[in-house]
A and B are shown apart, each in its own frame.
Chain A
Amino acid sequence: MRVALLIACFNDTLFPETGRATVRLLERLGHQVDFPEEQTCCGQMHFNTGYARDAVPLVRRMVAAFEGSDAVVCPSASCTGMVRDHYRGLADLAGDAGLRREVDSLVPRVHELTELLTGPLGLEDVGAYYPHRVTYHPTCHGLRGLGLGDGPVRLLRSVRGIDLVELEQATECCGFGGTFAVKNADTSTAMLSSKVRAVLDTRAEVVTAADNSCLMHIGGALSRQRTGVRAVHMAEILASTEQEQAA
């Protein structure tokens, strides 16, 4: 399959290893990855903060960047959800029927990474090796937005060497919520402290998720408290092999 990578701007900028891992993984599985370089930001932060009108040009840009791609993969549950659940509304807000048609064409082609693997590619065992104790946080957008279900967990269970441990109160939000973490920093921190406690209770070395935004939040507290627990995107675990151990 030929797949175009929608990287998500914070992966591109802050977590390039997630993008590299996504490319490594898909190529190892025999697929061809494209990266349309005209892509920038999906507009999620603007949209969620109330700047919907400013997100419209970003929608236009994203739609154009992936115009010629048959399948699009995104290693971010929330950016995938942004395209799938809100692009139509933004095209309508702009009153642009042409954009709406382009969005309608893009939406069914966009897959979150684990969705692509367990859905169209029909995989559970991607041949990964990751000899670490890991706990999985499902993330709100993955769980309730995209409805990823147990797909990510099935992928992780098939990883050789992994010691996968369940997270208590896993379905509860970590408190990130984009600009919520800044505008309501105290409430966000109160939510985060429960999540961090649950992660530490698992005695895992690594907390993983299908979204670096939540991981940056949880990982930010794990780092601040010098817990020694790392936040690692699922793509990096799935890309890891005996020959090539992920960092």
Chain B
Amino acid sequence: MSPAMPRVRVVAPGAMPQRPFPDAAREALGDSQLRRNLGHATATIRDKRAKVVGELPDWEQLRDAGAAIKDRALLSLDEQLERLEEAVTAAGGTVHWARDGGEANEIVTALVRGAGADEVVKVKSIATDEIGLNEALEAAGIGAVETDLAELIIQLAGDVQSHILVPAIHLNRAEIRDVFARELGAEDLPDDPPALAEVARRHLRRKFLEARVGVSGANFAVAETGTVCVVESEGNGRMCTTLPEVLISVMGIEKVLASFRDLEVMLALLPRSSTGERMNPYTSLWTGVTEGDGPREFHLVLLDNGRTQALADTTGRQALRCIRCSACLNVCPVYSRTGGHSYGSVYPGPIGAILTPQLVGVENASSLPYASSLCGACYEVCPVKIDIPSVLVDLRRQVVDEQRSRPGVRAKVDPERRAMEGLARAFSSRRGYETLQRAGRLAQRPLARGRDRIGALPGPLAGWTAARDLPLMPDQTFREWWRSRR
């Protein structure tokens, strides 16, 4: 792919149906630049994380605590959100409730218009990407300027994020240099990172000083005090949350924590899992508005957009514990080869494979629960102990149940379904099982074509033999040997 070309725009959740994962992945796997960037970046962050996590003797207890803290808030979510609203309001802020992305976008657009602004500066926020806030603002004639360096690159390139923490992980510095040269009019720009950062810094500094409205997401919000928390590395977020007159924060309702003390655990878990740092450089905490300091107006938009539905799923709800650290992406053997765009969502990787189908409905993202070998590396590193493989398997069950519930012949003659049901029936009796073994031994002969292995299988099984041989069934099964031994 030529460096200056924006990559294929992937549909965000809410705008499904998406391209099936296997098709998108096939294309990504053939992109050697992408493979190299991803392999290098994920391995680097993976090693950094392992090092700083290894420093803590009580890491496993911290994970347990993180999971328990999030579960406590999630299982009393209605109560915590009302406490949060009360505390934010008492501190001079205003709370808005949005059922879905459309409502949230309308609320934010109206607030920006009310402030008389035609441009906002933005802190990196996946929740606003999820609902397509930038596009909605643009449609209303309001410019949204991403101020996180990687988000800025993505925005200027007209591209889509491919990693939760490192959105431009799929681009290299030559590609970024070309984007800046084209979009920011930076002539003769070298491709070294300090020079690139300096161009972005000059561009952004002007935007920060001009902006009247800042828009952020939230890493955490504390019901007890009404405090909102954003963690970041670059300091751009601090600019956005302190310089403008009006600050609007859009947060998914699952981000609420019950008490301020909970932050102690979460802020120990997040940076180590995410950037592989003991502590991130900037942690901004604010509570409503403060006279003579920072924004004069603060609005908190509480976004549902499918989260209540996920909360009702007793297995799937643990996905709502996610603190967006992206450790699961970096250890995932699938993600580290296919990249984020294959997942067709702003939430890529293992967490995306369980979050996206729950937010948009399994029928609209039915290939995602299958985009995993269930190796369990994600579960092992998750700071809030989300058992991603178990949720994936349960979502697969929901995909199959949903397909079975569809009327019509097509669902009934689906070859996979027929094979699975047929095998289950045969395996339900010893006789059926042993008959199938004998039948298999006969059926394999033409496939082997006189050789000692099968090199080509027909139909949907051809994917296996594209790269692998299949051994032949020996003349005697184990149980036949066992009987002959008697």
- Please report A residues at the B interface, Cβ cutoff 8 Å: 7, 9, 11-17, 19-20, 23, 35, 37-38, 40-41, 43, 45-55, 57-58, 61, 86, 140, 144-145, 171-173, 175-194, 216-217, 219-221, 223-224
Q: Of B60-68, B161-169, B333-341, which binds chain A?
A: B333-341
- The answer to whether B478 and A20 have CB atoms under 8 Å apart is yes
Given A35-B479, A48-B396: A186 touches B375 (CB 8 Å cut-off): no
Nearest B residue to A42, CB-CB: B427
Residues of B within 8 A of A52 (CB): 393, 397, 400
Given A51-B400, A182-B463, A186-B29: A20 touches B481 (CB 8 Å cut-off): yes
- The answer to whether A191 and B380 have CB atoms under 8 Å apart is no
Give complex CA distance A140, B478 in Å: 25
Give complex CA distance A171, B471 in Å: 25
The listed residue (B377, B423, B478, B483) touching A144 by CB distance below 8 A is B377
Give complex CA distance A20, B482 in Å: 8
- The answer to whether A14 and B466 have CB atoms under 8 Å apart is no
Q: A89: shortest Cβ distance to chain B, in Å?
A: 8
Given A50-B399, A144-B380, A185-B464: A13 touches B373 (CB 8 Å cut-off): no
- The answer to whether B25 and A40 have CB atoms under 8 Å apart is no
Nearest A residue to B387, CB-CB: A85
- The answer to whether A181 and B420 have CB atoms under 8 Å apart is no
Contact with A along B105-147 (1 / 0, CB 8 A): 0000000000000000000000000000000000000000000
Given A140-B376, A216-B471: A185 touches B463 (CB 8 Å cut-off): yes
Nearest B residue to A219, CB-CB: B471
Q: B308: shortest Cβ distance to chain A, in Å?
A: 24
A-B interface, 3 closest residue pairs, ranked by CB to CB distance from nearest: A185-B463, A177-B373, A220-B468
Q: B37: shortest Cβ distance to chain A, in Å?
A: 15
How many B residues touch A, CB cutoff 8 Å?
A: 61
- The answer to whether A176 and B373 have CB atoms under 8 Å apart is yes
Q: A106: shortest Cβ distance to chain B, in Å?
A: 18
Q: A226: shortest Cβ distance to chain B, in Å?
A: 10
Give complex CA distance A173, B338 in Å: 15
Nearest A residue to B373, CB-CB: A177
- The answer to whether B478 and A224 have CB atoms under 8 Å apart is no
- The answer to whether B334 and A49 have CB atoms under 8 Å apart is no
Give complex CA distance A117, B95 in Å: 61
Give complex CA distance A178, B333 in Å: 15
- The answer to whether A57 and B424 have CB atoms under 8 Å apart is yes
Residues of A within 8 A of B286 (CB): none
5 CB contacts below 8 A, A to B, read A45-B423, A53-B401, A177-B372, A189-B467, A221-B467
Instruction: Tell me, yes or no, whether B455 is within 8 Å of chain A by CB.
Output: yes
Nearest A residue to B474, CB-CB: A16
Instruction: Tell me, yes or no, whether B207 is within 8 Å of chain A by CB.
Output: no
Residues of B within 8 A of A53 (CB): 397, 401
Residue picked from B374, B379, B427, B455, most chain A C-beta under 10 Å: B427
Q: A73: shortest Cβ distance to chain B, in Å?
A: 14
Residues of A within 8 A of B430 (CB): 37-38, 40
Residues of A within 8 A of B455 (CB): 224
- The answer to whether A16 and B427 have CB atoms under 8 Å apart is no
The listed residue (B334, B369, B478) touching A191 by CB distance below 8 A is B334
Interface of A is mostly: helix
Residues of A within 8 A of B476 (CB): 16
Instruction: Tell me, yes or no, whether B44 is within 8 Å of chain A by CB.
Output: no
Q: A197: shortest Cβ distance to chain B, in Å?
A: 13
Given A144-B375, A184-B370: A50 touches B29 (CB 8 Å cut-off): no
Residues of B within 8 A of A221 (CB): 467-469
Residues of A within 8 A of B482 (CB): 19, 23, 35, 37
Residues of A within 8 A of B420 (CB): 46, 49, 51, 54
Instruction: Tell me, yes or no, whether B428 is within 8 Å of chain A by CB.
Output: yes
Using a CB-CB cutoff of 8 Å, which residues 1-44 of chain B contact chain A?
Answer: 21-22, 25-26, 29
The listed residue (B337, B437, B464) touching A187 by CB distance below 8 A is B337
Residues of A within 8 A of B428 (CB): 40, 57-58, 61
Nearest B residue to A217, CB-CB: B468
The listed residue (B437, B440, B453, B466) touching A185 by CB distance below 8 A is B466
Nearest A residue to B404, CB-CB: A53
Residues of A within 8 A of B453 (CB): 223
- The answer to whether B377 and A46 have CB atoms under 8 Å apart is no
Give complex CA distance A176, B333 in Å: 12
Given A51-B420, A172-B333: A140 touches B22 (CB 8 Å cut-off): no
Residues of A within 8 A of B337 (CB): 187, 190-191
- The answer to whether A180 and B372 have CB atoms under 8 Å apart is yes
- The answer to whether B373 and A180 have CB atoms under 8 Å apart is yes
Give complex CA distance A192, B375 in Å: 13
Instruction: Tell me, yes or no, whether B448 is within 8 Å of chain A by CB.
Output: no
Other A-B pairs, 7, CB within 8 Å; known A40-B430, A50-B397, A184-B371? A144-B376, A176-B373, A177-B373, A186-B25, A186-B26, A186-B29, A221-B468
- The answer to whether B464 and A182 have CB atoms under 8 Å apart is yes
Instruction: Tell me, yes or no, whether B234 is within 8 Å of chain A by CB.
Output: no
